[in-house]
Structure formats: structure tokens, C-alpha cells
Structure 1
Amino acid sequence: MAHAVTRLPDAQLAPMLAAYEAAVRERRRHSFIAVAVVLVCIALAAWMGEVKPGVLFANAGRLTTYFASIVPTLRWDSLGADLAEWYWNLDHWLKLLLDTILIAYLGTLIGSIGAFFLCFLACANLVRSPLIRLAARRYLEFCRTVPELVFALLFVVAFGLGPMPGVLALAIHTMGALGKLFAEVVENIDMKPVEGAIAAGASWPKMVRFAVVPQVTSNFASYGLLRFEINVREASIMGFVGAGGIGQDLVEAIRKFYYSDVSAILLLIIAAVMIIDLVTEQIRHRLLGVGGGQ
């Protein structure tokens, strides 16, 4: 069935078209200003950072030359012997890689526990006292603002070389990063169970336990697994400052120009991170699926 197209009179249509064109011009003007600001910021950052494209392109060949030098020579007729020579220290590297994973695991576990208890205090929908929220949020900001390597350096000076400084550094930074993510999850929960628990006379800890935690458990676990994956990569470079793990052998191989050892250790780290990424991704998807189905 055909429908007739209604056309407004020109007297009514003209002001509407004028308003539309004005809105389009205003939007274009805002977009132009935004692009100009971004370009100016990029130029200032490049100037302050002394970024020189000419130097970058002139010396880019050195990077490719270095990568070419760390690739070992593998021949098909002697592949087994070449691989054995390439991974001559495999047992030791695997032990250090396991140490790295354990450092990341323990740092993630301790940091997650701290973030779990602090995140509720930083939420405006659960805590009315501005002072408590301010203290919790500023503490979490401090924990995640200072880089892990800085914490690791401080702890190496305080406690000596070994895995413990790496664990403490990762735990503190993880507490700050996860605390913010956990708090954002809590601030977006359904408040009806919270109001019901308060109306029933529940104390603040019981309200959190029975009205808040069931809503956020799957997201908390998902973020925790994601952080563990990140911490495995971070723990790999903790050895650069003497905080244990496989990074210590990696930086030694780089400094002493043990080219084949550099590529062997890098491949072990990449393989470990890829496997952990695949496993944690599947677990996160299952957790979020369970949480979404409830």
C-alpha cells in the first residue's frame, strides 16, 4: 500500500533546515578544534621528548641487524643438535621461568586480597563518609601510580636480591590497579539488594557480604585473572633490577651479547605468556558467562 510523502510548507521547513545546518557547522567546528588540539599536543610531546624522525629512520637498520644476529643458525640436517645447542641451558631457564610465574601468582594473590577489602571503602554508594572514601582512593592511587620497577628497586635495597622484592612490588601495584577496577564494578551494582539488607537490619560487613559480593564475584575473578596475565609479563623484567625470575638471565645475556641466549629466553617468555593468556581467557569467559546467566 503506497503512502503519501508529506512535505512541510517552506515557511516551516526553512527554519528547521537553518537550525540543522547550524548544528552541522557547530559540530564540524568542534571536530576541527579537537583535531587541532591533538595535533598541537603531539607536536609539543615530540618536541619535549626530542623525537627526531630522521634519526629514527637512519638507525632503524641497527634494530633489524640486532634481531637478525640473535636468530640462531638452524640446519635441517643437524636440526636436533642445533636446537640442543640453542637451548643448552633449558633446565635452568625453565626453573627461572617457573619462579617468574610463581612471583606473578603470589603478587597477584596478595594484591587481589588487598584490593578486595579496600575497594568497598572507596565506593560512594556504600560509604557515606567522604574522609574514608578519600583515604581509600588516594591510597589505591599511590599504589598504582608508582611503577613496579621503582618499588622493586626500593625493596631490593631493603631486603636484598631475590624473588621477595618482586612479589612485594607486584602486590602493591596490583592492589592499586585492581582496587580501582573493583570499585568501579561495585559502584555499578544493583542497589536494591543493598537497600533490602539495610532495611532488614544487616550491619555494614554483612550487607557487603550478602548483598554486594554475590553480584561482583565473577567480575572480580575475571579482572584478577587478567591481572595475573599482566603480572607474568611484568615479573619477566623484574630480574633487570635483581628481583628474581628469568629476567635476570635475560638482561645478563643482553649485556654480555649472548645473542642466541637472548632469543631462546625471549621465546620461552613469549610461549609462557601465550599459554597463560589462552587459559585465563577461557576461564574469564566461563566466569562472565556464569555471572551473566544468573
Structure 2
Amino acid sequence: MANQKLLEVFLDTKRILCSNDYYIHIPKKIIHVTNSENMIPHLMGMQYIGKPDMFTGDRGAYMIKKGRLKYDSLEKLIRKYYRGADKQASMLAMVNGKIDNLHRIEDMLSTYSVLYLYDVAANPDSELKTDYLLVNHLEEMVLQLGVVKAEHKKLQVYHCNSFMVAYKKNEDYDLHYRNLTQHYEISKIVREDKITKRSEVIYQSMEAEKRELMGIEKMLVSASVPVNEKLIKAIFRLNQKFGEYHTLDMLSDSEQIIKKCRNKRDEALVKDFISLWRERTDGI
């Protein structure tokens, strides 16, 4: 039902952003991103349909969850707070675009494309109200996720405060980042479940992958473990699945690795590794 659309988008975004923490690895720094459901109405564009803070933050989240703010009421609210048919139409199109595209935030964080992080704070002339802009170039569009440092936090943590989709057929698709001078290629993104604290690598650049494979090989050679490509890739897959680099001591502790398994796929991955490991280390 159309009237349930706001709630459905809210809950889907909550599943993606609020159940997990994300760790974005760039050279010499890791950006820790954590979110609460109170940030979702802003990502949905609810700040544009009424008075300031009327439908954002904890109030906006409550109204969406309780059905007091529904999809069918957006046009009426925009007509109330904006004058002129053209202005009303453009605002409604913008809000609908944010709502319709918010599901792409999952593609933003887990992708085969090359990801870049632009340092907005290093460019004081920028009009973007965010500290970093995560940019993902797809074939026909560019996904852009803004993250800002959380206020009143002793730890260096960030949260998402904007999500934009720009289509490459438009001349100004790169408007928000074309003049940002400082940017980094993201090497890795690790997703960590907030409750279980289990981690998984959901993105890794090709260069970072090459470096990790070489590091695994050097580690095995230094311990006189007979090396082959199959074993190296099996260890790499363990690192990806469980979101951490496995040292020789960790690889040798089969019992602890098995305890990390969450499902049958994990168990199959671990069993394949253990079989290879025992075969290559027998007698060492």
C-alpha cells in the first residue's frame, strides 16, 4: 500500500544502517560510522516538508513508526509550506527522489566499484554540510553518502547525514565533489553487528586485496608452511568473512575459528580451510 511506503522505507533503512556499525578504511585513518533511527527521517528528506525539525529526529521517527506521517500526506504538506506550483512540484520531486532511492544505500556500502572518500572539511569553501562524502560511481549514476562527526562524543565516531543520487546524463552530476581537492581511495569497509559484534569485510579495493594476499603468503613462508594459491585464498576468505586478519596462532586454533560460524555457509568455509591447513601443516 502506498500509505505504508514511508514506514517500509524507514524500516529497510534502519535494517541497513542501524543494525550495524561500519568502519571505512582510508590511508592512516579508519572512519567509524554508527547510526540511530532518529537520523533516518533526515535521509528521507523529511526536513523539506514542514517547519524546521517538525518531521526529523526522534519526533520524525516516532511519527513515521506510529503512522502519523504517511506517504500520501507529503504532497499536502508541501503545498501548505511552499508557494507556487513550480516550487511545490520541484520540492515534491526532490523528496520523492530521496525516498525512492534510499534503498540504494546498501549498494553504496557493498559494491564492486571503486569507492572514494572526499574530505569535505578540508575544503572550507564547500557548501556541503558534512565532513566526508563517500562516492560510488556506477554505470549510469553516482551514489553519494555524507557522514558527519557526531556531536558531544568523546570518541571519533560519525553518522550519515545525507544521501544523494546523481545521474550521469545530467551535466552537473559531479557538482557536489568536483571541486573537493582532497580525497582518498577507500581500501576496505568492515561491517560489525551491533549486538553480536561479529564483523565482515563487505568491500575491499583491488590494491588492498593484492597487498593482503601478498601479506598472507609472506606470513606462511616465514613460518615454513608450504604455500599454494588455494591455501592463500582460503585464508583470505576467512579474513573477509570474519572481518579480521588471521595470524598464524589464530589459524592454528581450529576450535576458535569454528566458534565464529553463524550459519552453514560459514561452517563450510571454515571446514574447507581447516582441511587445507592440516594438509599443509602436517608434520611442521
**TM-score for both structures, normalised by structure 2:** 0.24
The higher-RCO structure (CA 8 Å, 6+ apart) is 1
**Which structure features the higher share of helix residues?**
1
| Larger Rg, first or second structure (1 or 2) | 1
User: Which structure has the highest strand share of the two?
Assistant: 2
Superposition TM-score, scaled by structure 1 size? 0.23
